[in-house]
Structure 1
Amino acid sequence: LLPEPALRDKYEEFLLRRLLVADPGTRWCPAPDCSYAVLAHGCAECPRLTCGREGCGTEFCYHCRQPWHPDGPCVSAPPAPGLPTPTAQPAQPEDSAHGEALARNGSTEAEDIKVCPRCSAFIMKINDGSCNRMNCTVCGCLFCWLCLREISDVHFLSPSGCTFWGKRPWSRTRRILWQLGMVLGAPMVISLVAGVAVPVITIGIPIYMGRKVLAGGLGSRRSSLSGCQQCLSVTSSVLLSLFVSPIITAVTVGVGVPLMLTYVYGTVVLSLCR
């Protein structure tokens, strides 16, 4: 697929680097212009690492990833210009070339670059009004850009204060007011939703099925069905839908209403008590 050896080697290098970045035991040599990686699993008790690249041989610390310091404790490296300080984040296994590129980009806003909560790879979000649901291309982690936590698809519906769009989570006061409004207004809103859903589903399904069968008969089967056959087909589908739609309505309301009540008076109330 890649006939040029140089291009193929570069492609394989990027694949290997992507795999190493996702490994929490990888430690990158801190020497300038060196992207050598040391697989340092189980080296926490003996933190002195040595770069195996020919001509380098830099010794560095497993814990702080800085040059070896036998006479002093680990000191966190100063954050690069324009980068956020990754407080209480996992280890940062990014390679030195990537870090230098970010450091040179002094025009980048600090809040535009954050670290993945799983693999700590640097991720940049373009300030174009896009959503806060992020997917790390290195490890595949799905996380929230605002709280930097791994999330599920219902995270932005939860009382976390994180919004699908926007630059900041809600304040604690606003979040509490919203949760109180949900608790107090849930009976009325759920009753309204159920009251609208019952006639819409009960009447809407037969109408939809009748129109769908009629459109199909007038289309592909127009030449094979007579007018009486089309009328009989539409009538039978509507009658069958009238029989099935109340069952679908009962199941939808019977399952949906308890789920909504459980969420409001379970998840939301527990969040208020924290």
Structure 2
Amino acid sequence: MQMARLGGLFLVANLAVGGAYGQGRPDMGKLSATGGVSQLEGAGGGGLTPWALITGYGSRDSWGANAHYTGVRTQDYTLDTAGIAVGLADRVELSLARQHFKGSLAPLDRLSIKQDILGVKVKLAGDAVYGQDVFLPQIAVGALHKRNKGVGGLGALGVTNVTQLGAKDDSGTDVYVAATKILLQQSLLLNATVRATKANQMGLLGFGGDKGDSYKAMLEVSAAYMVDRQMVAGVEYRRKPHNLGADNEKAYYDVFVAWFPSKHVSVTAAYAVLGDITVFNPKRQRGAYLSVQTGF
């Protein structure tokens, strides 16, 4: 079922490719910062949650693309994400990212988990920039298909797969609907995303578990203030399911500043709180978030 939904979205993407690429070189026609930054799973949006905005600076007659690297450092863990994304005709977004999660404190100081994420997003209605005189926000639907690559560093305990930690599966698909409204006169961006998911810690600890194995609707919200044409500051909040007895999972939230010195480069810095991550290091994880994106 999940792959059928993903396949349907890719069909829409393929229909858009011909028109966008037929325009030749990207026109960089969108306003600065209106493609968002690259969030932790590779989609265009904030740092924690996808927005309805399509990545890149290509207008509806063109295309755009970017590459990003993001690093998060908390007391006991590190998370590195790298990926690429393409925006087609300001309507379709395709993304590919890899996450690498590592422990730094015993007993999980050798922990290493990698995950690949394939994403697609399609704008359905509205325009966040040009729809200033209407109430309707920009609305998009998207999917993130995730495949966990296994558990490293715990071989001495006989653990090589997230299912041995209690997860029901090592792959899964998140499906979401996002609504984004930009109020240019007030210099505000508001976003609400509802995600259907059963991922544990974004899928890094698998999908489903002993406490639940069904999809749950989770709310994610963002608010950002455009300080000027090059600087945006904001906050984000992302609810999470709690499927694993071995992981007392809590919501994520952050405070961020994004700098756009040009349409080719953005830098995002944040203070992120990621809640508890496994009962083996039972403390609220918090720390620095830094992301660099380059593209057109």
Please give the range of the TM-score, normalised by the shorter of the 2 chains. under 0.3
TM-score, scaled to structure 1: 0.25
Computing the radius of gyration from Cα coordinates, the structure with the larger value is 1
Higher relative contact order (CA 8 A, sep 6+): 2
Which is richer in helix?
1
TM-score, scaled to structure 2: 0.23
